[in-house]
Structure 1
């Protein structure tokens, strides 16, 4: 097969906030044949998305291509005029973004946005474009394909919106599709549907694809070949089977190892087993919206949920979006006072509202939020962020506080000099470590971890999990770990509670997963977790257990 894509010695330079010029893509070369799907994998900052965007003839603000060739069907996009590039976008090459929500105008109907490319390029009459859109909706396994286009973006689910973004890209019948982390924000059950739909439509259309991801298991299901990137340079290129099963480069081996975390196991001491659980949740009911005549919230996010956590052990809470996981963490922390039920800390009932809890109770139980970007004050230095709980809970000031800040930074494996930086000067993994250091500053007994690794690359997430394990041994901590990732909870937790629709489905020993699941929904959830196996998706039945 002839090469549709040829990238040769590509170099991209960026300008930092301080005005310094940095080469962020350093001599990258690879190709993709017609009908072939090539994946770019690597951690954040490796250059995956930057390279993918050059195939649209685009660079982000502050970036410029300073060398090399980017050829699509024999034409060099670097040498083209901007007008020529515009004519290619949507027809020869199309792009499906990570966040489909950001790709749609919330004030326009979906069908009008899907057919926009056809109107811009004059590809077909309006009625023919609408008929083609409905064909794509059907091919992408969207519900009610004849009428779903009449809805607005907020009236469909995240998985449906992601497939609609693909329809918008496909309507111009492009020769190359670029997928930029299109399933990262989706639940595992929804991800299966989306991957299947993408794969089927690409195969039917004979299109080439460039798939950007840091998730090796997802890439294994869709890619023919893989290009491994780190720091803007190619580390290794090979078939998907070779990269996954016979990696050669040390960095590729590190990625594979990070995907298979070692299962966690602790043994509660006889003393801990004899005393009351460090945390107990009894019959919690909580939700959002104005209460109805019965006193219940309009949206009941938790419905009679109970669980318990023994001292020195870890409880995982797993389920898809909307299952109530994060609401449970917020209710336990007192950030969302429950309508009924109670939370006990060391056998003593806590006030429902965090504002009414004693300072000592607040100190004993801390929470780490999913997005460190929004959890850390962007205007405060790392020293101020970590130091605030030191003053609030322990009265530390001046040199004593600064010394403890440095100790906490070392504890989370960050250099002391980082205390002077602002959050925007840190990487995602560094921000999450600062987030954790702030929680540890209180000297807590329990840390509620709400999806704290979901936005991180595989290697960085594995390092955070290893750190949590070390800190638990050193500080005698107990964790409640909220996640939708089975491998993550297996790596850190002793027990796992499965949630669906605001209710507890079942609670299992982590060591018994996934085979020990007894409920249909649990089996569905665990069966939907992609495996590092190139034939896994194709080997799945059309209907999984519980569907």
Structure 2
């Protein structure tokens, strides 16, 4: 151990973008920080802030087109910048380990999980094969993975995303590294899965006394993991301090903006929306059934994703659809857009039938319904300019070209709050937030009545995502456009939606307006989603398992009957002899929400709003409440 107790010391770190024949452009400026042994330090900031670049420098690595140009980096007794290529290879994976954002990209699909997890130990010679396998099973158990003795025999595609993320952690920890870098390891996960992964990470950090760097843009997540936080923007440290101070007494304006962006502010209902409530619906989805794969003789797809879903969108209204991955959210958008065929039910646009088959729709129907996808990187051609990207729908839908099209492109860029000079930039050169605004401008070029927003903020930083929500609200006020807003984030769906639909396993299990879904009682699954959203305070994660991730008692084998409640296997309020024998029927609560559940309103409320010691009551997601098994 070093005399001062620090494992990591970084002084004057500079990283520059480098192109042959051109002067370097500094992107990380004179960074200083220390990490004590056994401490978790968070690096937080927006995309482009330099947080991942700084974290990678601790391994002596700079990404393509970049190089470390100055400063010193020490990990233990090792001067990282003085290491040769051979020395760096010995450092990486042995002394410093890295856990990436995308576990799927880190695994070879053709090799078993066990072979890949133990590979680093064999390469560095820290363990023999049999000892490495035993150590891997020990890590699988510590990371709360199912069937730890046998999960290593599976292939990566045979486990869930959350399990794969924890398996990548086992891969990193197999060599007992001195420092572990967690680089946005839960960003792509649902909130319910995120809790399991965060708890597993925190458990092994405590158990093994690890020193760690946690890279994230999400302050609420960082609050659960870090002892100290370094706040970055534009490659510079804006503020550094203990987690409690950063969360509750941020000094720098940029830090204050990060804290403010964690909980988006709900929009107020507009007069246009209130007037629309009495008008005919813009779009109706009636008993919609859809899926994928070859159809049987009755016309049903091999894999049914949506099962008799109803949904109504009025003019100038936003309907939010929330649920975990696999719930059917994106499939609803694709069916409405005509990208997935209908197996049952119907669509009505302004009261008139809307063909489920894309080939049977008119150009006018195409124009009226536009879709904005989650990943703007894959939705935009990176070699096309912004002007060319926006000019195509202008020509297709409105016959607009030449000077008229250029003027309209400038108007569209102004609408989405982008400078007109961006028109000549290639889309591949833009930031994530800028790309998503171009993606939205392309949809607006058609002058649609309805825009299907499919997780449009999930790949963005907190501040950028909040700005996109603000933009969507502003456009709705100006243009009267309607949105179907798809997300797994309860705070975002509450912030922008007028009505909310909760999906689970392809069924609509709760519907209601925003106010109805802002306080209990909820459907038990809605309660799980609400209780799984991280709060901006330290200690929340330690209480989360008691609130919403309890071990459930066994229930009858008929739990797999597709006609029964789809949430049965995970429901802490299930009633043996009822829930596993009879399908639930919709019931309307006093707040106007409709839930698909056997439990009555009083039972839901007693479970989700419990008495506190001072005689008041609180939501079961409150930090002061422990929900008891019923």
Aligned counterpart in structure 2 of residue 185 of structure 1, from 172, 185, 188: 188
Q: Paired residue for 1:452?
A: 456
Q: Would you say the 8 A contact 1:265–1:493 is kept in 2?
A: no
CA deviation after TM superposition for structure 1 residue 387, in Å: 1.3
CA deviation after TM superposition for structure 1 residue 20, in Å: 4.9
TM-score w.r.t. length of structure 2: 0.85
Q: Paired residue for 1:320?
A: 324
Q: Specify the SS of the correspondent of 1:78.
A: helix
Q: 1:20 to 1:403 in 2, by over 3 A?
A: farther
Q: Paired residue for 1:14?
A: 17
CA deviation after TM superposition for structure 1 residue 271, in Å: 4.5
Residue 476 of structure 2 is aligned to residue 472 of structure 1: yes
Q: What does the per-residue CA deviation read over 1:1-47, in whole Å, with 9 as the maximum and x for residues that have no partner? A: 70001111100111259945210110011111010000000000111
Q: Would you say the 8 A contact 1:514–1:523 is kept in 2?
A: no
Q: Paired residue for 2:333?
A: 329
Q: Paired residue for 2:76?
A: 73
Q: State the alpha-carbon separation in 1 of the partners of residues 497 and 546 from structure 2.
A: 31
Aligned counterpart in structure 1 of residue 369 of structure 2, from 342, 365, 377: 365
Q: Paired residue for 2:507?
A: 503
Q: Paired residue for 1:169?
A: 172
Q: Paired residue for 1:56?
A: 59
Q: Paired residue for 1:393?
A: 397
Q: Paired residue for 1:109?
A: 112
Q: How does 1:277-316 map to 2 (within 5 A)?
A: 277-316=281-320
Q: How many residues matched?
A: 547
Residue 452 of structure 2 is aligned to residue 438 of structure 1: no
Q: Would you say the 8 A contact 1:266–1:313 is kept in 2?
A: no
Q: State the alpha-carbon separation in 1 of the partners of residues 157 and 43 from structure 2.
A: 31
Which gives a bigger RCO, structure 1 or 2 (Cα 8 Å, sep 6+)?
1
Q: Would you say the 8 A contact 1:262–1:491 is kept in 2?
A: yes
TM-score w.r.t. length of structure 1: 0.97
Which has the larger displacement, 315-324 or 284-293? Answer: 284-293
Q: Paired residue for 1:356?
A: 360
Q: Would you say the 8 A contact 1:367–1:447 is kept in 2?
A: yes
Q: Is there any run of 5+ residues in structure 1 with no aligned partner, and where?
A: none
Q: 1:186 to 1:125 in 2, by over 3 A?
A: same
Q: What does the per-residue CA deviation read over 1:241-281, in whole Å, with 9 as the maximum and x for residues that have no partner? A: 10010000011011111112111232455652332111110
CA deviation after TM superposition for structure 1 residue 543, in Å: 5.8
Q: Specify the SS of the correspondent of 1:276.
A: coil
Q: Would you say the 8 A contact 1:508–1:517 is kept in 2?
A: no
Q: Paired residue for 1:227?
A: 230
Residue 461 of structure 2 is aligned to residue 428 of structure 1: no
Aligned counterpart in structure 1 of residue 129 of structure 2, from 116, 126, 130: 126
Aligned counterpart in structure 2 of residue 217 of structure 1, from 215, 220, 225: 220
Aligned counterpart in structure 2 of residue 86 of structure 1, from 80, 86, 89: 89
Q: Would you say the 8 A contact 1:41–1:226 is kept in 2?
A: yes
CA deviation after TM superposition for structure 1 residue 515, in Å: 2.2
Q: 1:512 to 1:275 in 2, by over 3 A?
A: closer
> Where in structure 1 do 4 or more consecutive aligned residues deviate above 4 Å?
16-20, 267-271
Q: 1:269 to 1:55 in 2, by over 3 A?
A: closer
Q: Paired residue for 1:146?
A: 149
Q: Would you say the 8 A contact 1:93–1:174 is kept in 2?
A: yes
Q: Paired residue for 1:47?
A: 50
CA deviation after TM superposition for structure 1 residue 234, in Å: 0.4
Q: State the alpha-carbon separation in 1 of the partners of residues 275 and 489 from structure 2.
A: 32
Q: Paired residue for 2:197?
A: 194
Q: Would you say the 8 A contact 2:383–2:428 is kept in 1?
A: no
Q: Would you say the 8 A contact 2:382–2:429 is kept in 1?
A: no
Aligned counterpart in structure 1 of residue 534 of structure 2, from 527, 530, 537: 530
CA deviation after TM superposition for structure 1 residue 118, in Å: 1.2
